Amino acid sequence: MKRTTGTDRSITRTWRPATQAVRAGTWRSEQGETSEAIFMTSGFTFDSAATVAARFAGEEQGMTYSRLQNPTVAMLEERIALMDGAEACRVQATGMAAMTTALLCQLSQGDHVVAARAAFGSCRWLVDQLFPRFGIESTTIDARDNAQWEAAIRPNTKVFFFETPANPTMDIVDLQFVCDLARRHGITTVVDNAFCTSALQRPIEFGADVVAYSATKLMDGQGRVLAGAVTGSADFINNVLLPFQRNTGPNLSPFNAWVVLKGLETLDLRVKRQSENALKVGQFLEGRVPKINHPGLASHPQHELAAKQMDACGSIFSFEVEDRAQAFALLDALTLIDISNNIGDSRSLMCHNASTTHYSVSAEARAEMGVTDGMLRLNVGLEDPQDLIEDLDQALRQAGL
């Protein structure tokens, strides 16, 4: 393998994000390929017994086994780290593998976690269902309220865990405030940045310690693979996360890593265009539906905070109709937008969260976080926004709106 300028941190650190997204982390084989090679191999062979011994001992750089390291996966990790402004990154098989790894690698029995109550269903499941089985305590709070973060801290609080914007309520968490508070108390912040990616929001710039992703969403962005990523300091990634990951094995396939590498090349373009489209569609829906939760609109109670910490509003927002029956009628009347619980895709997708993404969350927890029976979440894709507006217009009329 030959190094390119993409593997020299003294150079890649000086590149702007759009350049990093296309080139950072690239290694080339002796063939000189332009696109990153896919190393679809579980193991590696060695010239001598001493070579592999030196690699296992950490005395020599190089591949040993794809659960420990893989060249295609390593290219993706370097690229995501640089784009996030982080020292290091490890990728996982799914976003939930990333969340589980980022949390369990550092938590032990008797630790306490403060978590945002508005969260992706499986993230809430980790906090509500998994943590108690291992003696990990938690408090879930209204994460929009800075005072609740402070009030929830206990002597054994180890981690703050939240997403911003939250899926699907679009609650915004004040990154600067919460990260500063955590720093003062020696608490590690774990931020789920799936709705933004580094193209829109870089939590590390606000002092976040660990950033975790579903790369299935905007990073792949074309509905092809499941993937996850965790970024942070070299110390956290190498000394806390890596021993956990190497021994529990939530690894990403080299093929899927390659697909995400291709996705990152167009991330900036897609996310910016999808944000523009989402704003146009949101402006159309505002006033036409009883409630809209869209951080790009002035009607969002935290619009100014969103504008401060995000470069654009993103592709995803939610809105509310009367009840489940009207929500289903609207979904069933769509002719262009697909009914799908995925997000971040270049296709526009809509779903009813209470019966899909948040089905695993108790009815009480759904009510508390504001996932109502009339709530619908829309991911706005790369189609012409006028076609999306026309589809929504006819579907709203059929649903009686």
Ligand X SMILES: *Cc1c(COP(=O)(O)O)cnc(C)c1O
Would you tell me which residues interact with ligand X (CB under 6 A)?
Answer: 94-96, 99, 120, 122-123, 163, 167, 192, 194, 214, 216-217, 226, 228, 343
| Count of other CB atoms within 10 angstroms of residue 391 | 19
- Shortest Å distance, C-beta 217 to ligand X: 6
Which residue's CB is nearer to ligand X, number 63 or number 200? 200
Which residue's CB is nearer to ligand X, number 181 or number 194? 194
- Shortest Å distance, C-beta 215 to ligand X: 7
Give the full edge-to-edge strand order of the sheet including 188-192.
Answer: 88-92, 228-232, 210-214, 188-192, 157-163, 112-116, 137-141
Token pair, residue 62, equals 């190089």
- Shortest Å distance, C-beta 73 to ligand X: 16
Which residue's CB is nearer to ligand X, number 183 or number 262? 262
| Count of other CB atoms within 10 angstroms of residue 185 | 14
Which residue's CB is nearer to ligand X, number 214 or number 302? 214
Which residue's CB is nearer to ligand X, number 112 or number 377? 377
User: Of 232, 241, 225, 254, nearest to 67 (Cα)?
Assistant: 254
Which residue's CB is nearer to ligand X, number 39 or number 125? 125
Query: DSSP H helical segments within 47-187, as ranges?
Result: 49-56, 71-84, 95-104, 121-125, 131-133, 146-152, 175-184
- Shortest Å distance, C-beta 195 to ligand X: 6
CB-based contacts of 28: which residues, under 8 Å, 6+ apart? 1, 2, 4, 37
- Shortest Å distance, C-beta 343 to ligand X: 6
Which residue's CB is nearer to ligand X, number 84 or number 163? 163
Token pair, residue 374, equals 């009339």
Which residue's CB is nearer to ligand X, number 70 or number 164? 164
- Shortest Å distance, C-beta 353 to ligand X: 11
3-state secondary structure of 283: helix
Q: Are 250 and 107 in contact (CB under 8 A)?
A: no
CA distance 343 to 320: 18
Rounded to whole angstroms, what are the CA distances from 311 to 72, 170, 272? 30, 16, 9
Q: Are 350 and 168 in contact (CB under 8 A)?
A: no
Q: Are 112 and 134 in contact (CB under 8 A)?
A: no
- Shortest Å distance, C-beta 277 to ligand X: 19
- Shortest Å distance, C-beta 163 to ligand X: 5
Q: Which residue is nearest to ligand X (CB)?
A: 95
- DSSP classification of residue 320: E
Which residue's CB is nearer to ligand X, number 36 or number 345? 345
Rounded to whole angstroms, what are the CA distances from 319 to 117, 163, 173, 249, 285? 19, 19, 19, 38, 8
- Shortest Å distance, C-beta 173 to ligand X: 12
